[in-house]
Structure 1
Amino acid sequence: MASEKSEQLYLQMKQDITRMPPDTRLQSIRALMRSYCVSQLLIDRTLGRLREEGLLRKRSDGLYTYLCEEADSQAIALITSNWPSTVRMEQQECLKRRAARRNLRILPLTHSFRASFRSIRQQENLKAILISPPSPLTAEDIDQIQNSRIPILIINHQYGELNLNFVSASYFEGGMLAAEYLIRNGHRKLALLFSQPHNWCMNQRAAGFLKTAELLGAKVRLLDAAVQNGENADEKVYPFLINFLKHEKPDFTALSTLCDCSAKTAICALAAAGYQTPDDISVIGTEGLNASQYFLPPLTCVGVDLAHYMDTILDAVEELIRNPEQQIQLIEPQKIFVRSSVKTISPQKENAYEK
């Protein structure tokens, strides 16, 4: 009887696992016991059998991962820094899901935030490499990319002048869209919160915002929380805004931040100082996090369509695998995600801030 039950469990789990996308993380042992209503001994034996057949692989966290043979031979490395980033995590999870539909496997590899991606040892079975650099590339970085034996695609940064392959969002356009949206909704007195380090991406967003405001005749108050590389932005932004609001009454009706998480922090700081969003001050982010729709209030923001962006990256990778000699340089357009943190105001409302 026990043998029959074991065989039934094996067949059922094998069927369930083969229906999962490649690189799917299985439930915990206890969760599997509850799902199949069997003992831990039977679960352990069945997982061991499936693992011997090559359907499962045990990773360092102790959970099993399904990898089909085809996906295992189509591994694409995703190299990022180990600095915590909500954007990076959202991109990574979406990229893995979209890749699984193409029978590709994304292999995340991380390096120290202050070290070059060159510190990562390349694996033999890789078909291509995606690199999201946290800082400007050095001459050594560029040399390694240009002389790599396998295709390399840079994501989230533009390197057209260096003739490197890349797929990136248009950060300048993101800043432009944020300013244009606020102005179109009646806001002529704006604030731009430099809530991140002054790197290329953030400088592009700020430049797009400031240029659009200038062209459309809006005033901008520039607020800089002086966040440095490696620092927690929230820990700098919140006290900075609290101190600012303690000593000055806002001379703006809308605030734009350079990332969505900082927008949430700004909303909290405004509330602590007695200003409600969007009734008193509207807030817009410029990153497009999926999680921002669950902020309070839900955050209006600028960003890319994440699934489309990841598909564009995967299209480019597959093209480079087929033809490594070609050059790919693509810019993903940005869009406004309209939610509840920005409201339309009348000229009378704006004039009230001048008194």
Structure 2
Amino acid sequence: MSSCDIYFNKGCKGKVYKRHVDDDCILCNDPDNPEKRDPCLCPPLGEPKKLTIVAPVIFDECGINLCKVIQRDIFKKYEDAASIQLRVIGIDYNIHYGEDGSKVEFIKNRPNCIRITLSHICVKLAVKVLDDRCCIIDTFCIDELFLPCEDDPEYDEETNPSSITIDLYAPYGVSYIDTCDECIPTINFLGFIENGEDARNDDLRQGVDSQALAKVVRFDPCRGVVAIGLTIYLKVVYFIQYKIPHDGIAVPPKCEPIYEVTENACKEFVEGDLLEQNILPLALFPNDDDDCGCDDDDGDGDRDGEDYKPMNDVAEEPQGPRPRRRGF
């Protein structure tokens, strides 16, 4: 290599790639196209009737049911309360809680599986108090602890134990909490509330995701006692690319006002048709029925005057509708 190439013709040492162009492209197969087989002009999809999407796919899932009985004074102040509606808006699995909190672990002799242990989970519930006509009396939020320690008064070996362990199939791994010194496997909850800067709530990620539903099993408004049933779904989710058939882009419906809009005469005039002169000072073919008889001086029904001639002597009656002449 010459010294000129060494000092002045220093090219990029990296490789340049281009996308594969579909052989069925009409633009590329056109002999008159000077930019033949240009990846920027040819469609990347060889099947126009199918759409390439990246979709969250559930590889494994399971659900558990829990139940606990609570007594809260806030439920006693509603004398007209007939029922309570619950929505789970957030769950803190207490991954950082240590040995007593929830954790996600890899199984030594089963590399495609993970072991999930749930314990000391804090559930945030949105409460709606309803009367006997299903009208809302009040709304508020409460936090309840499920899967507590064995010495907790709300602990129950059958319905609310201290922990639950489940094995799930997770071939592509889990999501992590990035701390200063280590990455901790975690569980994402798909809820309705954010929990600050380190929020993993209401965010679909690859790995272990969860959803939850709640129901009031029993309710005693006099004593403020409520039995809460909780269902937790655990899902292993990964984003996979697929080709799917489609019928075009989905167009959402447009909202219409539910009240009638006040009529605006000026706006209707401006948006309406242009005005035209509708006064005809000269009618070539007047109707006999509309003859006012202004030239009939003797009242015999005939027009008087020496210059008067019958209409038939002037022009023949045209066939069909009589045209009108606009203007003067």
Higher strand share: 2
| TM-score between the two structures when normalised by the length of structure 2 | 0.24
Which structure has the larger Rg?
2
Higher relative contact order (CA 8 A, sep 6+): 2
